[in-house]
Amino acid sequence: MWSAHGSQQVKILSEGTAISKPHGGNLVNRFSNIDPSGLSSISISADLANDVENIADGIFSPLEGFLSQQDFENVVEKGRLSNDVPWTIPIVLDVDESAASKIKDSGNVLLKNPDGLGVAVLNVEEVFTFDKEKTVKGVYGTTDNSHPGVAKTMAMNDFLVSGKIDYVKRPESTEIRKYRMTPLETREAFSKAGWKKIVAFQTRNPPHVAHEILQKTAITTRDGVFVNPLIGKKKSGDFKDEVIIKSYEVMIEKYYPENRCKLGTLHTEMRFAGPKEAIHHAIMRQNFGCTHIIIGRDHAGVGNFYEPFAAQKIFDDYPDLEIAPIFFPAFFTAGSVLHLPTPKYVLTMRSQENKLAVLSYVH
């Protein structure tokens, strides 16, 4: 399946019915057979280890490693790479001054996950400092330390290391990773299912009635829904990953129409960057092959840091994305009936009957 390096072969269907092209034009492949023996090493967090694997698999295409200083600054200031390709979330490796000095002289360094497994070799290109306050303002839109993304950034080490990665060893398969899919695997699954219009559904929660309405609406208007729960660090009070997965297993097996909904997990942390993260979520799903993504009220938000529909409005700034957003407004209730207004009609879920129906058309 894998070549030594470079882009991966992607099946593109006929014009007008294509699974989305990868972001930037090609799926990145950073897997390698190189021997990392003898290299100096540094330990990275579980979340960063996930993101290194996401780079290698092409989930973060077109990234091939950690951002250069020029790309980093462009992402913070403009939400784009230095070549103007959309990218809104900095993917970086931070180190302290002592490690920075050693890395500068080493050339290559082995990245080890929290279990001590050497997962990737970083080909060091640059070591640079960054303005933390400018970074959080550009990415999160605030410098308020009560925002989890701001707090994490302000606690980062002062030096960033850039360079391409060579992925050398996947972690062993676990129960929580059994639904993890690469873009090649999702694209093959969509093609085998005969899906041409695929809606991505981002979630960090088990399914509930509002999500059910969104997913059912997508199923009735497109070929299929790719439910893509985020697995990784979230925030205090969020549901456990195992609960989310088990809930969707039951929904897909017992409830949704056959061959209209697929489950695959996305192993990366929530940044709670609101509109900037909505674009990041869309890019990843485009790389999976999805043609559409559902963006609801306060997507990837936290607290009251973002306007309710800021994550929808930001797509006006990114007309060059291949994937198309599907916007839904807020739900409202009237008695025992849950309503979802759309531009053409109002959908309703009656709690006693548990059925989705068109309540009335909006002219």
Give the active site residues. Answer: 204-205
Taking the C-alpha atoms of residue 228 and residue 293, their distance in angstroms, rounded to an integer, is: 11
Alpha carbons within 13 angstroms on the beta-carbon side of residue 242 total: 2
Taking the C-alpha atoms of residue 21 and residue 297, their distance in angstroms, rounded to an integer, is: 27
3-state secondary structure of 198: strand
Q: What is the DSSP string of 290-359?
A: -SEEEE-TTTT--TTSS-TTHHHHGGGG-TT-SSEEEE----EEETTEEEEE-SSEEEEEETTTTEEEEE
Inter-residue contact 159 to 315 (CB < 8 Å): no
3-state secondary structure of 135: helix
Q: Pairing relation of β-strands 118-123 and 159-167? A: antiparallel
Beta bridge partners of 126: 162
Handedness of CA 201, 202, 206, 210 (dihedral sign): negative
